[in-house]
Amino acid sequence: MENEWKNKKRKRKGEKEKEPLYTAQEAIRSLEIFEPVQYDEIIEITPEIHVRYNDAGHMLGSSIIELWVKEGDKETKTVFTGDLGNNDIPLLDSPTMIEDTDYLVMESTYGSRLHLKNNEKAEMFLDIVSETLEKEGTVVIPSFAVR
């Protein structure tokens, strides 16, 4: 659908339309090769390559991935992660703590920020709502949802 939308724009500009990277049917067929894995389960990709998914605690299903690659006598461990969750979130487990790695690849949008504790966030939220209502203002509460 995104490709169709972009092609409409291309057509209006007199540009050549582009084929989609894949069809909806191909996307559906690709689901046949997906396999569920459990957190903390070491999976052998080949005798030289192993992987383990760990809970990142960011959102349901988010993962920290440990990858071990053996080349000759040397084994190298690389850890990949995106956002990490916080501790003490009611609906999510805390992120798995990884003991060691040779290389770390991570997303760090908020890496330089200190997060408030949950009770401090709740108190700040209530203060803002109360102050807004006292001034007869409107409170808009955005929410984050994932399908």
Quote the distance between the C-alpha of residue 123 and its chain's center: 28
Note whether residue 143 is domain-resident: no
User: Is there a domain that residue 16 lies in?
Assistant: yes
What are 109-147's pLDDT values in tens digits? Answer: 777 777 777 778 888 989 999 999 999 999 988 877 665
The two tokens of residue 69 are 């690659």
Domain count, the chain: 1
Residue 109: inside a domain: no
The parent domain of residue 4 ranges over 1-34
The reply to whether 126 falls in a domain is no
pLDDT tens per residue, range 15-26: 999 999 998 899
